[in-house]
Amino acid sequence: MSDLVMVVGIGADGWAGLSAAARRELHAAEVLMGSARQLALVPEPSAERVAWPSPMLPALPALLASHQGRRVCVLASGDPMFHGIGTTLVRLLGPDRVRVLPHPSSASLACARLGWAVDQVEVVSVVTRPVESVHAAVHQGRRVLVLSADGHTPARVAALLAARGYGGSPMTVLERLGGAEERVIHGTAGGWSLPVAHDLNVVAVECRADAGTVPLPCVPGLPDEAFEHDGQLTKSEVRAVTLSRLAPVPGELLWDVGAGAGSIAIEWMRAHPANRAVAVDSHPERAARISRNAAGLGVPGLTVVTGPAPAALAGLEPPDAVFIGGGVTVPGVVEGCWEALRPGGRLVANAVTVESEAVLASWHGELGGDLVRLAVSRAAPVGGFTGWRPMMPVTTWTAIKPVEGER
């Protein structure tokens, strides 16, 4: 393959909207790659045209290698480095082998049409992710742009908002932005009546909560009612402390072992869009429930592994942090998690029984760290009065794995 792959952003206006530099690159190309729709927008160059196969990503390395030594130009929608093929090529080939000529992104064009400040809008792409990813961005008063997968996305976004309690939110669908057939459709999520839009569209939402809708905060400690569970749930007060000890950092990976309802893994991922998590539970019904909770709370990318630890941990990517919410008394669980943990990573384990507490005390004696007991009481009716109803105390052990050279 040649030393350099050119990536040219193109809009719905096609050849007419390209810069002189972009046209020169297309004229010089020997091989032009892109989707069938993108290739149809470029009538002039005589390069060999290669439409993306489906699925594209697995075939991409071999496809590029098959044109080794030729001038390859790749077409991309809008800005190739904004949820586009440009980022994939840079990851595959390295930044020195890719040159990008961007076009205005669909997000920039949509904000220009709506009069929205781009830096104050949250953009969610559902091109390759489930539409439930939108949940994490839905907050009262916020503006959200959804990059659609196809013409069905607007109706799915509308249904999601209405079910979430945001049916009164104004919605705008912007089709074929920048093209001669550009169209803008307005409505509300609860009253959305357009079943299918043009495949090339962006959905703009001004989030407005219906009366009585309970907001879901961004900080750890979501209400217990936000999760579907069978009683195996780290309660909100303890969850907030546990996550503070896990100390989520953008881009890190968490193992949530004995995940129950998956609340720790879900709130870890909600802390930052780049965070990743694996929830492990031995009960198939709980694993299915974890997936439902993750989708409903905006992190459908949570990986769920069904099986008993420590066997279920084999082959997983080493974590930056581990939470053991269940199974600390099972032989090999704590050892396996500690061995897999990356240097500098955090391990947090909770115990509510005397037996599990004894295990944590033993590990604390061996590895050190912090051992804390949390006792929470909630107000509850006592006849005609109010009293304190204590919850089961929770013992939390936190340990940080030394990096090489540390004692």
Query: Read out DSSP for 19-58?
Result: -HHHHHHHHH-SEEEE-HHHHHT--S--SEEEEPPSS-GG
Confidence check: pLDDT of 393 > 60: yes
Confidence check: pLDDT of 384 > 80: yes
Over residues 262-283, the mean pLDDT reads 97
Query: Is the C-alpha dihedral spanning 231, 233, 234, 237 positive or negative?
Result: negative
pLDDT at 3: 75
| Residues in Cβ contact with 345 at an 8 Å cutoff, skipping those fewer than 6 apart | 319, 320, 321, 322, 400, 401
Residue 7 sits at φ, ψ, to 5 deg, of: -120, 120
What letter would DSSP give residue 182?
-
Over residues 335-345, the mean pLDDT reads 97
CATH 3.30.950.10 domain range(s) in the chain: 107-207
Give the CATH number of domain 5-104; options: 1.20.210.10, 3.40.1190.20, 3.40.1010.10, 2.70.98.10: 3.40.1010.10
Over residues 354-374, the mean pLDDT reads 96
- Residue 100: which pLDDT band, with cuts at 50, 70 and 90? very high
Helix boundaries (H) for 203-307: 236-246, 263-270, 284-296
Q: Structure tokens of 293? A: 């909770």
Confidence check: pLDDT of 115 > 50: yes
Q: Structure tokens of 372? A: 């804390």
pLDDT at 176: 94
Confidence check: pLDDT of 192 > 80: yes
Q: Are residues 49 and 39 in contact, defined by beta-carbon separation less than 8 angstroms?
A: yes
For the domain 224-401, what is the CATH superfamily, name and number?
Vaccinia Virus protein VP39 (3.40.50.150)
Confidence check: pLDDT of 2 > 60: no
Nearest CA-CA partner of 375 in 357, 393, 356: 393
Distance CA 12, CA 104 (A): 11
pLDDT tens digits, residue range 280-299?
A: 999 999 999 999 999 999 99
Confidence check: pLDDT of 46 > 90: no
Over residues 292-316, the mean pLDDT reads 97
CATH 2.60.40.3950 correct for 107-207: no
pLDDT tens digits, residue range 195-230?
A: 999 999 999 999 999 999 999 998 999 999 999 999
- Residue 390: which pLDDT band, with cuts at 50, 70 and 90? very high
Residues found in the chain: 407
pLDDT at 218: 87
CATH 3.40.50.150 domain range(s) in the chain: 224-401
Confidence check: pLDDT of 1 > 50: no
pTM: 0.89
Distance CA 316, CA 183 (A): 46
SS3 content of the chain, % helix, strand, coil (to 5): 30, 25, 45
pLDDT at 109: 96
- Residue 397: which pLDDT band, with cuts at 50, 70 and 90? very high
Looking at every residue in the chain, the average pLDDT score rounds to: 95
Distance CA 187, CA 169 (A): 9
Q: Which residue has the higher pLDDT, 241 or 407?
A: 241
Confidence check: pLDDT of 279 > 70: yes
pLDDT at 407: 52
Confidence check: pLDDT of 261 > 50: yes
